[in-house]
Amino acid sequence: MEIYKQEFIEFMVECGVLKFGDFVTKSGRKTPFFVNTGFYQTGSQLKKLGEYYARAIEQKYGHEFDVLFGPAYKGIPLSVTTAISLSELYGADIRYCSNRKEIKDHGDKGILLGSPIYDKDRVVIIEDVTTAGTSIGETMPIIKAQGAVDIIGLVVSVDRMERGQGTKSALKEIEENYQIVTTAIVTMQEVVEHLYNRPYCGKIIIDDKLKNEIDAYYEQYGVKE
């Protein structure tokens, strides 16, 4: 596993973004772990987060695209900080764009924030995490309504590695349904591999009990090969 992935896993724990316990996902699944990028709260944390996203994007797509689209609301700061990091780390001047939940009817009218999306633009979508793939179904029509654009990919912070609407993983379903390439900074398999029975700041984050709970969750919701 690359060093930056190991650092990112520990960064999520440090920031309280990756939590373990009893949670319910947006899709209604009870889960022993939860990822919420809303817990990144300081300038230094957002700067680091953008750098991790930028590394994952550069590794998967390079920087030969035009727009980084972050769906409201969490995607707004993600698109901004990552666009800045793409510029600083790779000299790539990528435009950022997000949507409003409600269309503005005065001043800067319309549904978009940041850059407009033009015909022939190549777009990468940035999100926090995808569980069952429901949110992408809301995002794609917003982008497609802007013109003849090429949506080339979706990047998330963590691939939860579980089924979407059918038997395949949510990210695999998205790839097949929308003909785009998906990627993540890390997968849950990598998270478990890095934290299981390994002390971090003097504490075991994933012990045998929690590992069994995670395994049971994947037995129910994981992809059946």
Q: Which residues pair with 103 in a beta bridge?
A: none
Whole-number pLDDT of residue 135 = 79
- Return the pLDDT at 101: 75
Which residues fall within 8 angstroms of residue 152, CB to CB, at 6 or more apart?
61, 65, 122, 123, 124, 180, 181
Grouped pLDDT means (10 residues each) for the chain, 225 residues: 95 95 86 91 97 97 95 93 98 95 60 92 93 77 94 95 84 92 96 95 94 95 78
Residue 104 falls in the annotated catalytic set = yes
**Whole-angstrom Cα distance, residue 22 to residue 35?**
12
> Contact at 8 Å (CB) between 123 and 146?
no
Residue 94 confidence (pLDDT)? 98
Task: Give the per-residue pLDDT at 108.
Answer: 55
| The model's pTM | 0.91
**pLDDT score, position 109:** 53
pLDDT of residue 133: 63
The region that residue 151 occupies, defined by phi over 0 for left and psi between -120 and 50 for alpha, beta otherwise, is beta
Catalytic, out of 101, 106, 203, 224: 106
Q: Which of 19, 30, 104, 109 is catalytic?
A: 104
H or E element that contains 159: strand 150-159
The half-sphere exposure of 61 on its side-chain side, counting CA atoms within 13 A, is 29
Parallel, antiparallel or unpaired: strands 67-70 and 95-104: parallel
Report the pLDDT value the prediction gives residue 170, as an integer from 0 to 100. 86
Tell me the sheet residues that pair with 50. Answer: none
What span, in angstroms and rounded, lies between the C-alpha atoms of 81 and 40?
A: 12
Max CA pair span of the chain:
56
Q: Is 106 a catalytic residue?
A: yes
DSSP 88-126: HHH----EEEEEEEEEE-SSS-EEEEES---TT-EEEEE
Asked whether the beta carbons of 174 and 130 are under 8 A apart, the reply is: yes
